[in-house]
Chain A
Amino acid sequence: MPEPKHPDEPGQTDGADLSNSQRKAYWSKNRRLIGVLLTIWALVSYGFAILIPMDFEVGRLPANFWWAQQGAMFVFVILIFVYAWRMDAIDREFDVHEEGE
Chain B
Amino acid sequence: MDLSVTELWTLAFVILTFGAYLYIGYTNRVRDTKGFFVAGQGVPPVFNGMATAADWMSAASFISMAGLISFMGYDGAVYLMGWTGGYVLLALLLAPYLRKFGKFTVPDFVGDRYYSQTARIVAAICAVFVSLTYVAGQMRGVGVVFSRFLGVSITGGVLIGMTVVAFFAVLGGMKGITWTQVAQYSVLIVAFLIPSVAISQKLTGNPIPQLSFTFSDITAKLNQIQVDLGFTEYTAPFQNKTQLDVLCITLALMVGTAGLPHVIVRFYTVPSVRAARYSAGWALLFIALLYTTAPALAAFARYNLIDSLHETPIEEARSMEWVSSWEATGLLGLDDKNGDGRLQLSPNAELNEIQIDRDIIVLSTPEVAGLAPWVIALVAAGGLAAALSTAAGLMLVISSSLSHDIYAKLIHPGASERERLFVGRVMIFLAVCVAGYFGIHPPGFVAEVVAFAFGLAAASFFPVILLGIFDKRTNREGAIAGMLVGIGFTSFYIIGNRFFGMDAFLFGISAQGIGTVGMLLNLVTTLVVSRWTPAPPLEVQEMVESVRVPRGAGEASAH
Closest approach, in angstroms, between the C-beta of B258 and any C-beta of chain A? Answer: 12
CB-defined interface of A41-67 with B at 8 Å, one 1/0 digit per residue?
100011001110000001111101110
Closest approach, in angstroms, between the C-beta of B218 and any C-beta of chain A? Answer: 9
CB-defined interface of B125-167 with A at 8 Å, one 1/0 digit per residue?
0000000000000000000000000000000000000000000
Q: When the two chains form the complex, which single residue of B81, B84, B246, B545 contacts A16, counting CB atoms closer than 8 Å?
A: B545
| Residue B324 is within 8 A (CB to CB) of chain A in the complex | no
Q: Is the CB of B243 within 8 A of A50?
A: yes
Q: In chain A, what residue has the closest Cβ to B243?
A: A50
Q: Is the CB of A41 within 8 A of B546?
A: no
B residues lining the A interface (CB < 8 Å): 69, 74, 76-77, 80-81, 84-85, 87-89, 91-93, 96, 100, 210, 213-217, 219-220, 235, 237, 243, 246-247, 250-251, 272-274, 277-278, 280-281, 284-285, 288, 291-292, 295, 470, 542, 545-546, 548-555, 558
Complex formed: what's the CA distance from A34 to B371 in Å?
46
A residues lining the B interface (CB < 8 Å): 7, 13-16, 18, 23, 26-27, 30-31, 34, 37-38, 41, 45-46, 49-51, 58-62, 64-66, 68-70, 72-74, 76-77, 79-81, 83-84, 87-88, 91, 96-101
Q: Is the CB of B84 within 8 A of A73?
A: yes
Q: In chain B, what residue has the closest Cβ to A7?
A: B555
Complex formed: what's the CA distance from A96 to B550 in Å?
6
Q: Which residues of A contact B280 (CB under 8 A)?
A: 80, 84
Q: Is the CB of A45 within 8 A of B545?
A: no
Q: Which residues of A contact B272 (CB under 8 A)?
A: 98, 101
Q: In chain B, what residue has the closest Cβ to A65?
A: B235
Closest approach, in angstroms, between the C-beta of B110 and any C-beta of chain A? Answer: 20
Q: Which residues of A contact B81 (CB under 8 A)?
A: 45, 49, 68, 72-73
Complex formed: what's the CA distance from A38 to B87 in Å?
12
Q: Is the CB of A59 within 8 A of B88?
A: no
Q: Is the CB of A70 within 8 A of B213?
A: yes
Q: When the two chains form the complex, which single residue of B96, B247, B549 contacts A14, counting CB atoms closer than 8 Å?
A: B549
Q: Which residues of B contact A88 (CB under 8 A)?
A: 274
Closest approach, in angstroms, between the C-beta of B531 and any C-beta of chain A? Answer: 20
Known: A87-B274, A98-B554; 20 extra A-B contacts, CB below 8 A, are A7-B558, A14-B546, A14-B552, A18-B549, A23-B549, A30-B548, A59-B215, A69-B69, A70-B214, A70-B295, A73-B81, A77-B281, A79-B88, A80-B91, A87-B277, A91-B550, A96-B551, A98-B552, A99-B554, A101-B274
Q: Among A41, A61, A77, A81, find the residue whose CB has the most chain B CB atoms closer than 10 A.
A: A77
Q: When the two chains form the complex, which single residue of B87, B278, B291, B551 contacts A15, counting CB atoms closer than 8 Å?
A: B551
Closest approach, in angstroms, between the C-beta of B420 and any C-beta of chain A? Answer: 24
Closest approach, in angstroms, between the C-beta of A99 and any C-beta of chain B? Answer: 6
Q: Which residues of B contact A51 (CB under 8 A)?
A: 243, 247
Number of residue pairs A-B, CB distance < 8 angstroms: 158
Q: Which residues of B contact A59 (CB under 8 A)?
A: 214-215
Complex formed: what's the CA distance from A79 to B274 in Å?
15
Q: When the two chains form the complex, which single residue of A34, A46, A91 contacts B274, counting CB atoms closer than 8 Å?
A: A91
Complex formed: what's the CA distance from A30 to B100 in Å?
15
Q: Is the CB of A73 within 8 A of B545?
A: no
Complex formed: what's the CA distance from A101 to B278 in Å?
12
Complex formed: what's the CA distance from A67 to B92 in Å?
22
Q: Is the CB of A76 within 8 A of B80?
A: no
Complex formed: what's the CA distance from A16 to B551 in Å?
9
The 10 A-B residue pairs whose C-beta atoms are closest, nearest first, are A15-B549, A68-B77, A59-B214, A14-B552, A13-B552, A84-B277, A80-B281, A69-B295, A15-B551, A65-B235
Q: In chain B, what residue has the closest Cβ to A35?
A: B92
Complex formed: what's the CA distance from A89 to B210 in Å?
33
- Given the known inter-chain contacts A45-B250, A60-B215, A84-B274, please indicate yes or no for A97 contacting B292, CB distance below 8 A: no
Q: Which residues of A contact B96 (CB under 8 A)?
A: 87
Closest approach, in angstroms, between the C-beta of B300 and any C-beta of chain A? Answer: 13
Closest approach, in angstroms, between the C-beta of B275 and any C-beta of chain A? Answer: 8
Closest approach, in angstroms, between the C-beta of B271 and any C-beta of chain A? Answer: 9
Q: Is the CB of A76 within 8 A of B219?
A: no
Q: In chain A, what residue has the closest Cβ to B558?
A: A7
Closest approach, in angstroms, between the C-beta of A29 and any C-beta of chain B? Answer: 12
Complex formed: what's the CA distance from A49 to B84 in Å?
14
Q: Among A65, A72, A99, find the residue whose CB has the most chain B CB atoms closer than 10 A.
A: A65
Complex formed: what's the CA distance from A96 to B235 in Å?
48
Closest approach, in angstroms, between the C-beta of A83 and any C-beta of chain B? Answer: 6
Q: When the two chains form the complex, which single residue of B74, B88, B295 contacts A76, counting CB atoms closer than 8 Å?
A: B88
Q: Which residues of B contact A77 (CB under 8 A)?
A: 281, 284-285, 288
16 residue pairs bridging A and B, Cβ less than 8 Å apart: A7-B555, A15-B550, A16-B542, A45-B85, A50-B243, A60-B214, A61-B235, A68-B81, A69-B80, A73-B291, A79-B88, A79-B92, A84-B280, A91-B550, A98-B272, A99-B551
Q: Among A7, A41, A68, find the residue whose CB has the most chain B CB atoms closer than 10 A.
A: A68
Q: Which residues of A contact B214 (CB under 8 A)?
A: 58-61, 66, 70
Closest approach, in angstroms, between the C-beta of A44 and any C-beta of chain B? Answer: 9
- Given the known inter-chain contacts A41-B85, A64-B237, A77-B284, please indicate yes or no for A98 contacting B550, CB distance below 8 A: yes
Q: Is the CB of A70 within 8 A of B92?
A: no
Closest approach, in angstroms, between the C-beta of B93 and any C-beta of chain A? Answer: 7
Q: Which residues of A contact B237 (CB under 8 A)?
A: 50, 64-65, 68
- Given the known inter-chain contacts A62-B235, A69-B77, A70-B295, please indicate yes or no for A27 contacting B548, CB distance below 8 A: yes
Complex formed: what's the CA distance from A30 to B469 in Å?
13
Q: In chain B, what residue has the closest Cβ to A88?
A: B274
Q: Is the CB of B77 within 8 A of A49?
A: yes
Q: Is the CB of B210 within 8 A of A70?
A: yes
Complex formed: what's the CA distance from A14 to B550 in Å?
7
Q: Among A34, A45, A60, find the residue whose CB has the most chain B CB atoms closer than 10 A.
A: A45
Q: In chain A, what residue has the closest Cβ to B78?
A: A68
Complex formed: what's the CA distance from A84 to B554 in Å?
17
- Given the known inter-chain contacts A23-B549, A84-B277, A96-B550, please indicate yes or no for A38 contacting B250, CB distance below 8 A: no
Q: In chain B, what residue has the closest Cβ to A75?
A: B88
Complex formed: what's the CA distance from A59 to B91 in Å?
31
